[in-house]
Amino acid sequence: MTVLITGGAGYIGSHCCVAFLEAGHDIVVLDNLSNANSLSLERVAKITGRKVSFEFADIRDQPKIESVLKHYKCTAVVHFAGLKAVGESTQMPLAYYDNNVVGTHRLLSAMANCDVRQMIFSSSATVYGEPKFLPLTENHPTGAVNPYGRTKLMIEEMLRDVSASDPAWRFGILRYFNPVGAHESGLIGENPLGIPNNLMPFITQVADGRRERLSVFGNDYDTRDGTGVRDYIHVTDLVEGHLRAHEVLASGSASSNCLTVNLGTGTGYSVLEMVRAFERASNKEIRYVFAPRREGDVAECFADTSLAEKTLAWRAERGLEAMCRDTWNWVCKNPSGYSSEET
Ligand code: NAD
Ligand code: UDP
């Protein structure tokens, strides 16, 4: 009864490893380390007091996946592995379709050959495109606006087709809103390489002096202070949602063999509200300037969480203060991310 966690050395995956190990599950992590450092798994072992089995492999390597599934007697997969940078996906669409779509196809084929038929998949609120109404319910129309989002939508559709072909399959498609924060120990967290695209990592780098100021992309949106509003969710809450989804699917009590569920808090915060919250948590000034809107950004995006509450008996518990405090704790303890231990 082992759970294969693809991309488990990454930001969300490493937190998920902690949640699953602490809940008593056996896991094996498979990661090609294209965007991660295996030190994250040593930290997972430190937090949980349990050894983490690790396979350095690519999800596109179907024979290898099959041998891992068999060797560890896996019964389920939590699938985080994928490329996730929106801007990069517009520059290198083929790499995104190959890694995300082809990779998931190979992973599913390996699972089918090994009779492992349960998967939780990391999808994203980006599949909703421009919101036609708020909060976003799972039946809001989909329409991704960039190659990254389209890979998520294509994978979702592949999973729905496979689930319809055979009721033995069980899928949990989890649509994340904006994951932020870090484990409360400060031992694992987000470790972006280069200039961060996302708001929270950028703010932390202003707070610790690595960047001079934040550019706030747009102050003329139709929101309470003119800046963009998002539904930020603590990564620990997010991975607890995975644990619940895994348990619901494994118990056979799910209402369908393909659940599609939002993981968000239901509350949106503006960029300026995030800046102020981070200033309080870090006791640092976050300097910012207003800059033009970022292409492709929506004004406001937050989740309807009622389906998650109903189907998973789960809801996010941690507020903005914990998100900022835990992020700052991780950054202060690891000023160069995991790379500080390498040198
Ligand atoms: P991450 O980059 O930290 O983790 C992804 C992991 O997958 C990395 O460890 C990377 O090395 C690995 N990987 C990538 N391609 C691989 C391949 N072909 N074979 C094996 N391993 C591979 O990203 P994250 O933020 O932890 O995101 C995890 C998942 O959640 C991704 O699928 C992402 O698209 C999705 N997601 C993330 C967010 C977010 O804001 N972080 C939001 C919505 C959805
Ligand atoms: N944002 C910003 N400056 C940055 C990065 C992001 O003003 O350097 C804004 C962005 O326009 C959006 C919000 O912060 O309104 C969240 O952006 P992020 O990229 O983190 O998430 P996403 O837009 O993908 O939901």
DSSP of 133-197: SSSBPTTSPP---SHHHHHHHHHHHHHHHHHHH-TT-EEEEEEE-EEE---TTSSS-----SS--
Ligand 1 atom, smallest distance to 178 CA: 40
Judge if the beta carbon of residue 136 lies within 6 A of ligand 2: no
Cα dist. 233→138, 201, 298 in Å? 17, 14, 18
Query: Taking residues 263-282, what's their average pLDDT?
Result: 98
**Among residues 72, 128, 148, 176, which one is catalytic?**
148
Ligand 2 atom, smallest distance to 229 CA: 15
Judge if the beta carbon of residue 13 lies within 6 A of ligand 1: yes
Q: Which residues pair with 27 in a beta bridge?
A: 3
342 pLDDT exceeds 60? no
| Lowest mean pLDDT segment, chosen from 16-30, 190-204, 318-332 | 190-204
Q: State the angle between helix axes of 199-207 and 320-333 in degrees (0 to 180), rounded to the nearest 10.
A: 60
Judge if the beta carbon of residue 279 lies within 6 A of ligand 2: no
Split at pLDDT 50, 70, 90, the class of 340 is: low
Judge contact between 303 and 262, C-beta under 8 A. Answer: yes
Judge if the beta carbon of residue 82 lies within 6 A of ligand 1: yes
- Percent residues over pLDDT 70 in the chain: 99
Nearest CA to ligand 2 atom 7: 216
277 pLDDT exceeds 90? yes
Amino acid 147: pLDDT = 96
Give the residue, out of 90, 176, 198, with the most ligand 2 atoms within 8 A of its beta carbon, to mutate for a pocket test.
Answer: 198
Expressed in angstroms and rounded, the spacing between residue 220 Cα and the centre of ligand 1 is 32
Q: What does the alpha-carbon distance between residue 114 and residue 52 come to, in Å, rounded to a whole number?
A: 22
Judge if the beta carbon of residue 81 lies within 6 A of ligand 1: yes
DSSP 303: B
Judge contact between 73 and 2, C-beta under 8 A. Answer: yes
Architecture in CATH of 2-181+233-263: 3-Layer(aba) Sandwich (3.40)
Judge contact between 200 and 274, C-beta under 8 A. Answer: yes
Amino acid 15: pLDDT = 98
Query: Taking residues 194-216, what's their average pLDDT?
Result: 95
Give the residue, out of 294, 300, 320, with the most ligand 2 atoms within 8 A of its beta carbon, to mutate for a pocket test.
Answer: 294
Q: Dump pLDDT digits (tens) for 126-167.
A: 999 999 999 999 999 999 989 999 999 999 999 999 999 999
Split at pLDDT 50, 70, 90, the class of 54 is: very high
Amino acid 194: pLDDT = 85
Split at pLDDT 50, 70, 90, the class of 193 is: confident
Which strand (E) or helix (H) includes residue 2? strand 2-6
Query: Taking residues 114-134, what's their average pLDDT?
Result: 97
Round the average pLDDT of the chain to a whole number and report it: 96
Query: Taking residues 250-279, what's their average pLDDT?
Result: 97
Q: Dump pLDDT digits (tens) for 315-326.
A: 999 999 999 999
Amino acid 336: pLDDT = 87
Q: What does the alpha-carbon distance between residue 218 and residue 105 come to, in Å, rounded to a whole number?
A: 38
Judge if the beta carbon of residue 340 lies within 6 A of ligand 1: no
Query: Taking residues 271-285, what's their average pLDDT?
Result: 98
Amino acid 34: pLDDT = 96
Nearest CA to ligand 1 atom 21: 31
So where are the chain's domains? 2-181+233-263
Nearest CA to ligand 2 atom 3: 216
Tokens read off for 248: 């619901």
Query: Taking residues 43-64, what's their average pLDDT?
Result: 98
Expressed in angstroms and rounded, the spacing between residue 193 Cα and the centre of ligand 1 is 13
Cβ neighbours around 130 below 10 Å, total: 12
Expressed in angstroms and rounded, the spacing between residue 130 Cα and the centre of ligand 2 is 15
343 pLDDT exceeds 50? no
Query: Taking residues 70-99, what's their average pLDDT?
Result: 97
pTM of the model: 0.98
Q: What does the alpha-carbon distance between residue 321 and residue 315 come to, in Å, rounded to a whole number?
A: 17
Q: Is 148 a catalytic residue?
A: yes
85 alpha carbon, closest ligand: 1
